[in-house]
């Protein structure tokens, strides 16, 4: 209850309070926030309707006052009333616009909470699944269901930019071991953002229906970088000439107003200015608009995102680095992106030809617009890639922090800088299983191999994935699904879900051989590696499979590699009798009584019971007994 009261206040909290939250507390908080926002939105929408009535009323009264003035002898009172109604109309319309903006903001906030409620109901469809990152040749991502439908990525992903999505995918799939300090800094940033619910929700509310396409934005900037801009408009000489020309324009207008000179001179000078501005600047501005015009919504969104990031009071090392990259003052990302957004807004208004001719003729607007862009190009364009990258990093951190907040039952892993494979797990289970998961204790010793046998559906493959996925989470600084987990930093390679490629003439067995070759090459380059294998050489006959598996394991055992291998070949368990003492047998046993009982518990030894025949008999019997 204490934690729930805190979250309703939307203030920063300590890790202690977050760890006291249960999943039911979090769901209750999300639900309460969504309901509260729904009530507030309804209230603001009712206010919108009142504003519309006010606008209509003031507008009608203004017209009535003017009409009465036009058809009666009564004068100044009606004009004053019309003026007051006009001011009233403008004021009401202003507050109507602000109220509408508030409604849109509240609706976006509510959408964030509603999506999280769907997450806790097991509905991840609101989040991108990362299908573009699926790679069957990756060291482990394909086997561990990191990407794709119902994947780990889909459960974590809340990114509002494509750059953030790419950064999140790299974080999960990067198989290069880092040092513990880097992971610790990353974990601290995740913890800090997990605690700051209001910051994360505000940040996520800045996203649109589709993520901001950072690749398209960067490509547009690269095109602008390669443009040949008339840099002369940015120097002081051109500015002095432009100001002198405007002074002449003002002088001619004043002289014409005093009837000391014909107005034709002012008109001709204005025409000359308009022609020169269009001739010198029009082409470049049209090119800039063609390149950057479609990015305006993304730039405007980046403007809000950077502002929100820089407003945050953060102390984690990685978060401070991101804020430092975005900078402060006139040379900050916020100032530069805000300037660019205003420039693009001005570029968009050039579509009004009559207005363009007037502003160029009287104010040299194209010259000053291009001058501002050239100066922005010189000062800020080179930093845009770094700024977009910093936003992408923060975007990925928000997703990771949201996952950490949503899974209070998960715990932080203990990380070791050891140089060898260390994996000590207590009560480890697969994160996708939720409350129905069965935790297992399991220890791995460096350069040892663990052969796991068991019946079909007894839990072998799920256990292997639990080992792999939880290691990925630990290395990313995320909480793991175990009662205790201690791991070192090592490389991971798996072969569990090999697929054929008939379009390229690759059979299943050939694909298995290629995968095992890839594994050996990886192990030769990365000695501290954990390999996870499920049914080696399943694409051939039993005897050949057994001999081939034994040959492969004997070869890989000569490398400084640690392995976990699931198999149905009980004969393979005899490798535990080899003098090296590096092979160990574990199993998932089942009980065969009137019904098959699955314990999903891993124990030392070799499985004795199999269930394939029993399951087939049961299936055939049920089909025979089914009504015709």
| In the predicted structure, residue 493 carries a pLDDT above the cut 50 | yes
Residue 613 pLDDT: 53
Residue 498 pLDDT: 67
From the CA atom positions of the chain, what is the Rg in Å?
34
Confidence band, pLDDT 50/70/90 cuts, at residue 555: confident
Q: Please state at what angle helix 384-406 crosses helix 333-349, rounded to 10 degrees.
A: 110
Strand partners for 424:
443, 486
Residue 527 pLDDT: 79
Inter-residue contact 7 to 29 (CB < 8 Å): yes
Q: Order of strands, edge to edge, in the sheet holding 423-428? A: 414-416, 484-488, 423-428, 440-444
Inter-residue contact 191 to 185 (CB < 8 Å): no
Mean pLDDT of the chain, nearest integer: 87
* Residue in the structure block whose two tokens are 């160029």: 360
For residue range 396-406, list pLDDT tens digits in order. Answer: 999 999 999 99
Residue 36 pLDDT: 96
443 conformational bin, left if phi > 0, alpha if psi -120 to 50, beta if neither: beta
Count of CB atoms situated within 10 Å of the CB of 352: 11
Confidence band, pLDDT 50/70/90 cuts, at residue 132: very high
Please give the Cα distance from 562 to 557 (Å, whole number). Answer: 8
Residue 491 pLDDT: 94
Strand partners for 488:
416
Torsion angles phi and psi, residue 211, rounded to 5: -60, 150
Please give the Cα distance from 383 to 385 (Å, whole number). Answer: 6
| In the predicted structure, residue 612 carries a pLDDT above the cut 70 | no
DSSP H or E stretch at residue 424: strand 423-428
Interval 556-569 mean pLDDT: 89
pTM greater than the 0.95 cutoff? no
Please give the Cα distance from 71 to 171 (Å, whole number). Answer: 75
Interval 532-545 mean pLDDT: 77
Above pLDDT 90, what percent of the chain?
56
Residue 323 pLDDT: 94
Residue 263 pLDDT: 84
Residue 14 pLDDT: 35
Interval 31-49 mean pLDDT: 94
Interval 578-607 mean pLDDT: 84
Per DSSP, the residues of 535-564 read: STTTTS-HHHHHHHHHHHHHHHTTSSEEEE
3-state secondary structure of 414: strand
Inter-residue contact 471 to 489 (CB < 8 Å): no
In the chain, the N- to C-terminal Cα span, in Å, equals: 58
Interval 595-620 mean pLDDT: 72
* Residue in the structure block whose two tokens are 């800094």: 185
Q: Positive or negative, the Cα torsion across 288, 291, 296, 298?
A: negative
422 conformational bin, left if phi > 0, alpha if psi -120 to 50, beta if neither: beta
Inter-residue contact 531 to 564 (CB < 8 Å): yes
Please give the Cα distance from 548 to 618 (Å, whole number). Answer: 33
In sequence order, which residues have a C-beta less than 8 Å from that of residue 292 and are 6 or more positions away? 220, 224, 299, 344, 347
| In the predicted structure, residue 356 carries a pLDDT above the cut 60 | yes
In sequence order, which residues have a C-beta less than 8 Å from that of residue 554 and are 6 or more positions away? 575
* SS3 per residue for 608-620: CCCCHHHHHHHHH
Residue 591 pLDDT: 74
Residue 5 pLDDT: 38
Residue 73 pLDDT: 62
Residue 11 pLDDT: 36
Say how far residue 413 (Cα) sits from the centre of its chain: 24
Residue 610 pLDDT: 63
Residue 112 pLDDT: 96
| In the predicted structure, residue 212 carries a pLDDT above the cut 90 | yes
For residue range 220-243, list pLDDT tens digits in order. Answer: 999 998 888 888 888 899 999 999
Interval 26-44 mean pLDDT: 95
3-state secondary structure of 532: strand
Confidence band, pLDDT 50/70/90 cuts, at residue 1: very low
Interval 61-75 mean pLDDT: 79
| In the predicted structure, residue 314 carries a pLDDT above the cut 90 | yes
Residue 457 pLDDT: 81
* Residue in the structure block whose two tokens are 């950072």: 214
3-state secondary structure of 451: strand
Please give the Cα distance from 499 to 488 (Å, whole number). Answer: 31
Inter-residue contact 106 to 41 (CB < 8 Å): yes
For residue range 155-205, list pLDDT tens digits in order. Answer: 999 999 999 999 999 999 998 877 899 999 999 999 999 999 999 999 999
Residue 217 pLDDT: 92
Please give the Cα distance from 536 to 565 (Å, whole number). Answer: 8
Helix residue spans in 21-135 (DSSP H): 23-71, 76-120
Confidence band, pLDDT 50/70/90 cuts, at residue 327: confident
Interval 76-103 mean pLDDT: 88
Residue 141 pLDDT: 95
| In the predicted structure, residue 15 carries a pLDDT above the cut 50 | no
Please give the Cα distance from 529 to 423 (Å, whole number). Answer: 12
| In the predicted structure, residue 556 carries a pLDDT above the cut 80 | yes
The structure tokens listed for 341 are 């957004």
Residue 123 pLDDT: 95
In sequence order, which residues have a C-beta less than 8 Å from that of residue 512 and are 6 or more positions away? 495, 498, 536, 537, 538, 539
The structure tokens listed for 448 are 């040892």
Name the residue ranges covered by the structural domains of the chain: 1-123, 214-403, 411-625
Interval 319-345 mean pLDDT: 88
Per residue in 235-244, is it b (16+ CB within 10 Å) or e — as a string? Answer: eeebeeebee
* Residue in the structure block whose two tokens are 């054929």: 500
Higher pLDDT, 25 or 454: 25
The angle at the Cα of 497, spanning 491 to 500, to the nearest 5 degrees, equals 120
Inter-residue contact 454 to 590 (CB < 8 Å): yes
The CATH code of the domain at 411-625 is 3.40.50.300
User: For the chain, what's the residue count?
Assistant: 628
In sequence order, which residues have a C-beta less than 8 Å from that of residue 327 and are 6 or more positions away? 333, 334
Inter-residue contact 593 to 561 (CB < 8 Å): no
């Amino acid at each position: 209850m204490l934690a729930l009261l805190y979250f309703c206040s939307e203030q920063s909290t300590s890790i202690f309070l977050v760890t006291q939250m249960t999943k039911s507390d979090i769901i209750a908080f999300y639900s309460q926030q969504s309901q509260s926002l729904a009530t507030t939105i309804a209230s603001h929408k009712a206010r919108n309707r009142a504003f519309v009535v006010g606008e209509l009323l003031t507008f009608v009264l203004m017209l009535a006052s003017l009409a009465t003035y036009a058809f009666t002898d009564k004068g100044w009172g009606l004009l004053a009333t019309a003026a007051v109604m006009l001011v009233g109309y403008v004021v009401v319309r202003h507050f109507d616009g602000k109220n509408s903006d508030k409604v849109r903001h509240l609706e976006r906030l509510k959408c964030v909470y509603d999506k999280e409620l769907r997450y806790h109901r097991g509905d991840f469809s609101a989040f991108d699944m990362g299908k573009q990152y699926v790679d069957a040749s990756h060291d482990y991502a394909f086997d561990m269901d990191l990407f794709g439908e119902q994947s780990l990525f889909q459960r974590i992903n809340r990114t509002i930019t494509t750059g953030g999505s790419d950064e999140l995918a790299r974080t999960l799939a990067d198989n290069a071991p880092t040092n513990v300090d880097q992971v610790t800094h990353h974990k601290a940033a995740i913890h800090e953002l997990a605690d700051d619910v209001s910051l994360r929700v505000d940040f996520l509310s800045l996203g649109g229906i589709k993520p901001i396409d950072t690749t398209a934005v960067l490509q547009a900037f690269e095109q602008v970088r390669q443009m040949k801009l008339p840099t002369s408009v940015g120097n002081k000489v051109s500015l002095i000439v432009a100001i002198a020309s405007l002074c002449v324009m003002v002088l001619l207008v004043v002289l014409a107003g005093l009837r000391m000179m014909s107005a034709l001179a002012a008109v001709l000078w204005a025409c000359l200015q308009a022609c020169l501005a269009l001739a010198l600047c029009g082409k470049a501005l049209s090119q800039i608009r063609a390149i950057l015009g479609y990015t305006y919504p993304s730039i405007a969104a980046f403007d809000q995102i950077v502002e929100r990031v820089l407003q945050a009071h953060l102390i984690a090392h990685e978060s401070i680095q991101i804020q430092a990259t975005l900078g402060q003052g006139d040379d900050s990302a916020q100032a530069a992106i805000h300037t660019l957004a205003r420039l693009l807004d001005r570029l968009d208004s050039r579509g009004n030809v009559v207005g363009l001719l007037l502003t160029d003729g009287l104010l040299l607007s194209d010259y000053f617009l291009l001058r501002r862009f050239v100066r922005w190009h010189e000062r800020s364009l080179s930093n845009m890639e770094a700024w977009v990258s910093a936003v992408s990093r923060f975007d990925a951190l928000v997703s990771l922090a949201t996952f950490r907040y949503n899974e209070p039952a998960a715990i932080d892993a203990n990380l070791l800088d050891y140089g060898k494979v260390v994996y000590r797990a207590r009560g480890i289970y697969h994160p996708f299983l939720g409350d129905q998961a069965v935790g297992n204790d399991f220890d791995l010793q460096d350069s040892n191999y663990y052969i796991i046998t068991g019946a079909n559906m007894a839990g072998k493959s799920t256990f292997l994935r639990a080992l792999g996925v939880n290691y990925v989470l630990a290395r990313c600084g995320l909480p793991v699904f175990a009662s205790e987990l201690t791991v070192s930093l090592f490389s991971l390679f798996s072969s569990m879900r090999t697929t054929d490629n008939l379009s390229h003439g690759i059979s299943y067995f050939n694909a298995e051989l290629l995968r095992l070759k890839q594994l050996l090459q990886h192990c030769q380059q990365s000695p501290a590696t954990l390999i996870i294998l499920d049914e080696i050489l399943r694409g051939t006959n039993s005897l050949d499979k057994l001999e081939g598996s034994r040959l492969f394991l004997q070869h890989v055992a000569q490398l400084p590699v640690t392995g976990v291998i699931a198999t149905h070949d009980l004969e393979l368990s005899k490798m535990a009798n080899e003098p090296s003492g590096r092979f160990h047998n574990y199993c998932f046993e089942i009980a065969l009584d009137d019904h098959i009982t699955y314990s999903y518990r891993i124990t030392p030894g070799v499985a004795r019971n199999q269930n394939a025949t029993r399951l087939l008999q049961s299936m055939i019997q049920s089909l025979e007994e089914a009504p015709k």
